[in-house]
């Protein structure tokens, strides 16, 4: 079976913890005895799967261990499998993973055959249960709900590591240096940081953690180090090697700090102690040919560059967690990220969207009621998934805000979850209730406004317009369904769409910035199926707005921020 097809997601899957000895298992597998191209979900055109998609899926692959795998441990990694995965190797049960958005792995050293074919079997159960985070998927897609995905939808790969290998790496930056922490089983390590002009800084630690302060260090040749801060305009990354007695990995970091400061009597979000405006778009992470996954990772880079070309500096990654390569490109290209947690639980259009949209925006989320067993499980799983997400994405400097709940969907105990998240990672800001149903604890006053434009009135906390706009314009030659249109205000041409967007910013956003508006997230980056309110068409071929006019609008906004 061919497991080395060209351009089938061959990127190293974990940019922040790289080793040289690995093998990508993407390519042609069997799914329920029919061919499928992994890692694309079976619903996607790129998977080339023509079989039935049932609640139970059986993936199979025969593979060889590479000859250069000569260390003691072989790890089998899965980027993401939706929703429940049971895994066997050579008829030996490896274990189970629940959820659909985070990576997991198994030590397969005891079960592999070094010189013979190995048989991998993955049983996937996906009923689209709302006990687990499921995002914008729905079996009956339509409107703001999209085609569901099932099974494997991120890279599967092998990694060969020594017996005492680096299992985790946590890097927390500020404006002068980094705090670095390896797993506690490591007794000492050396960090080698690449600097300008082929210079470097070498630091040794007789522990599993330590501090590197670049403002107080000279490089290995005795030269004074001049630290460079990371910003969207200058996204400087430092490459670094971590060496232990048995292992070596390469990684990277950036120097930056995100916080809320009082600037001339107004609470503002500041990057590196300077006010910043999160001038952003909603990014659903859906693609016409791959649904949850683009054809290759360059499409992530292209989406980032498309939005930067329009002058945006922020993507709100909406109710989805991407492969790490997406966040690496945001780090490298200078795109701020507002990362949503993936919602679980039931959703009511009337209670969660329609009534709040017309003004009914208050609801207590700590009411004590008789809980069904599955509700208790859902809440515990969501809490664990939230902290696991924060842990998984911790090292990416581009991520500056986490959204916990969106529009009341599955919302519970948001104040307690806010405290839990902040204790887990205090280096980011948290929007605990995006849109409405605000409780007491949040770093923002977070609101969604559609269908109207008016000057807003910030209060004590920074005001975050975390969703707005969503005006529709359908390009009939580049649309998913000519007969269906979903969005928040119809436009008949590119010119009308452009003018309407500019008018919204001029009437609502720009006049409110000086008063304390810290960010605005326009809906959205691209069309998604029936939803045709993107800057780009679903296939990313057509930009539906006047690029020059939108860029000039962005420049006006950023010029205002420079004067604060």
CATH number at residue 54: 2.60.120.260
Residue with tokens 């080395």: 4
258 contacts 428 by C-beta, under 8 angstroms: yes
Task: Please write the tens of the pLDDT for every residue from 99-133.
Answer: 999 999 999 999 999 989 999 999 999 999 999 99
| Residues 173 and 300 occupy one common structural domain | no
Q: Is the confidence at residue 562, as pLDDT, over 80?
A: yes
Read off the pLDDT of each residue in 446-470 and give the average, rounded to a whole number. Answer: 95
Whether residue 64 lies inside any domain: the answer is yes
| Residues 231 and 374 occupy one common structural domain | no
The residue among 122, 141, 161 that closes a domain is 161
Residue 349: band (very low, low, confident or very high) from pLDDT cuts 50, 70, 90: confident
Task: Please write the tens of the pLDDT for every residue from 460-496.
Answer: 999 999 999 999 999 999 999 999 999 999 999 999 9
| Residues 295 and 337 occupy one common structural domain | yes
| Residues 87 and 206 occupy one common structural domain | no
268 contacts 515 by C-beta, under 8 angstroms: no
Whether residue 56 lies inside any domain: the answer is yes
Whether residue 494 lies inside any domain: the answer is yes
Q: Is the confidence at residue 252, as pLDDT, over 90?
A: yes
Task: Please write the tens of the pLDDT for every residue from 32-58.
Answer: 999 999 999 999 999 999 999 999 999
Of 313, 376, 383, 377, the C-alpha closest to 342 is: 383
| Residues 399 and 544 occupy one common structural domain | yes
| Residues 341 and 267 occupy one common structural domain | yes
323 contacts 79 by C-beta, under 8 angstroms: yes
| Residues 118 and 185 occupy one common structural domain | no
Share of the chain above pLDDT 90, in %: 90
Residues 6 or more apart whose Cβ sits within 8 Å of residue 156: 24, 25, 26, 38, 39, 61, 76, 77, 78, 79
Distance CA 4, CA 7 (A): 9
Residue 7: band (very low, low, confident or very high) from pLDDT cuts 50, 70, 90: low
The residue among 100, 135, 161 that closes a domain is 161
Residues 6 or more apart whose Cβ sits within 8 Å of residue 454: 507, 508
Q: What is the pTM of this model?
A: 0.96
| Residues 537 and 395 occupy one common structural domain | yes
| Residues 300 and 157 occupy one common structural domain | no
Whether residue 72 lies inside any domain: the answer is yes
Residue 552: band (very low, low, confident or very high) from pLDDT cuts 50, 70, 90: very high
- For 528, how many CA atoms within 13 A lie in the half-sphere containing its CB? 25
Residues 6 or more apart whose Cβ sits within 8 Å of residue 242: 166, 169, 182, 189, 190, 191, 248, 249, 250, 251
Can you spell out the DSSP letters for 143-189? Answer: TTBB----EE-S-EEEEEE-SS----EEEEE-SSEEEEEE-TT---E
Chain-centroid distance of CA 381 in Å reads 19
Whether residue 529 lies inside any domain: the answer is yes
Q: Is the confidence at residue 381, as pLDDT, over 70?
A: yes
| Residues 213 and 154 occupy one common structural domain | no
Which backbone phi and psi does 56 adopt, to 5 degrees? -115, 125
Distance CA 230, CA 176 (A): 11
The residue among 238, 253, 268 that closes a domain is 253
CATH code: domain of residue 191: 2.60.40
CA angle, 428 then 433 then 434, to 5°:
85
- Residue 217's pLDDT is 87
Task: Please write the tens of the pLDDT for every residue from 172-192.
Answer: 999 999 999 999 899 999 999
| Residues 244 and 374 occupy one common structural domain | no
Q: How many domains does the chain have?
A: 3
- Residue 372's pLDDT is 60
Whether residue 14 lies inside any domain: the answer is no
Share of the chain above pLDDT 70, in %: 97
Read off the pLDDT of each residue in 69-91 and give the average, rounded to a whole number. Answer: 97
Q: Is the confidence at residue 5, as pLDDT, over 60?
A: no
- Residue 435's pLDDT is 95
Residue 92 vs residues 16, 106, 194, 471: alpha-carbon distances, Å: 31, 12, 44, 53
pLDDT averaged over the chain? 95
| Residues 555 and 463 occupy one common structural domain | yes
What the block records as the tokens of 165 is 């290998």
Residues 6 or more apart whose Cβ sits within 8 Å of residue 456: 447, 449, 463, 465, 508, 512, 515, 517
Whether residue 1 lies inside any domain: the answer is no
| Structural domain span for residue 186 | 169-253
Distance CA 125, CA 129 (A): 10
Whether residue 263 lies inside any domain: the answer is yes
CATH code: domain of residue 462: 3.20.20.80
Q: Is the confidence at residue 320, as pLDDT, over 70?
A: yes
């Amino acid at each position: 079976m061919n497991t080395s097809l060209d351009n089938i997601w061959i990127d190293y899957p974990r940019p922040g913890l790289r080793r040289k000895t690995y093998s990508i298992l993407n390519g042609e597998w069997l799914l329920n005895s029919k061919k499928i191209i992994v890692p694309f979900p079976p619903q996607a055109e790129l998977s080339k799967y023509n079989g039935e998609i049932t609640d139970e899926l059986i993936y199979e692959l025969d593979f060889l261990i590479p000859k250069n795998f000569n260390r003691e441990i072989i790890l089998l990694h899965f980027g993401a499998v939706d929703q429940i995965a049971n895994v066997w190797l050579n008829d030996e049960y490896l274990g189970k993973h629940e959820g659909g958005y985070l990576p997991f792995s198994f030590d397969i050293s005891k079960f592999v055959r070094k010189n013979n074919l190995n048989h991998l079997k993955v049983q996937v159960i996906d009923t689209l249960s709302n006990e687990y985070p499921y995002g914008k998927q729905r079996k009956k897609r339509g409107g703001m709900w999209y085609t569901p995905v099932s099974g494997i939808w991120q890279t599967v790969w092998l990694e060969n590591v020594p017996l005492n290998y680096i299992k985790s790496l946590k890097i927390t930056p500020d404006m002068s240096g980094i705090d670095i922490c390896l797993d506690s089983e490591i007794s000492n390590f050396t960090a080698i940081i690449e600097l300008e002009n082929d210079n470097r800084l070498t630091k040794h630690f007789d522990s599993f953690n330590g501090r590197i302060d670049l403002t107080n260090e000279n490089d290995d040749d005795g030269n004074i180090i001049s630290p460079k801060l990371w910003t969207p305009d200058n996204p400087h990354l430092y490459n670094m090697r971590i060496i232990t007695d048995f292992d070596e990995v390469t990684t990277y970091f950036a120097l930056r700090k995100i916080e809320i400061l009082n600037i001339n009597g107004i609470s503002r979000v500041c990057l590196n102690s300077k006010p910043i405006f999160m001038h952003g778009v909603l990014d659903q992470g859906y693609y016409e040919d791959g649904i949850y996954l683009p054809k290759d990772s360059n499409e992530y880079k292209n989406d980032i560059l498309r939005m930067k070309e329009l002058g945006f500096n922020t993507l709100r990654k909406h109710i989805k967690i991407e492969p790490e390569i997406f966040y690496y490109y945001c780090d490298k290209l200078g795109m701020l990220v507002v990362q949503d947690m993936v919602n679980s639980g039931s959703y009511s259009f009337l209670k969660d969207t329609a009534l709040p949209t017309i003004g009914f925006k208050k609801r207590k989320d700590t009411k004590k009621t008789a809980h069904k067993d599955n509700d208790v499980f859902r809440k515990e799983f969501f809490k664990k998934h939230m902290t696991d997400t924060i842990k998984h994405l911790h090292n990416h400097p581009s991520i500056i805000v986490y959204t916990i709940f969106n529009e009341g969907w599955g919302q519970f105990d948001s104040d307690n979850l806010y405290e839990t998240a902040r204790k887990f990672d205090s280096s980011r800001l948290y929007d605990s209730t995006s849109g409405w149903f605000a409780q007491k604890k949040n770093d923002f006053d977070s609101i969604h406004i559609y269908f109207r434009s008016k000057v807003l009135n910030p209060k004590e906390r920074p005001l975050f317009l975390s969703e707005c706009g969503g005006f529709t314009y359908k390009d009939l030659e580049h649309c998913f369904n000519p007969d269906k249109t979903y969005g928040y205000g119809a436009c008949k041409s590119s010119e009308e769409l452009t003018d309407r967007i500019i008018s919204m910013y001029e009437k609502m956003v720009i006049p409110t910035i000086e008063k304390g508006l810290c960010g605005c997230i326009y809906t959205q980056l691209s069309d998604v199926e029936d939803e045709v309110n993107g800057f780009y068409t679903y296939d990313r071929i057509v930009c539906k707005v006047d690029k020059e006019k939108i860029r000039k609008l962005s420049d006006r906004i950023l010029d205002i921020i420079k004067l604060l």
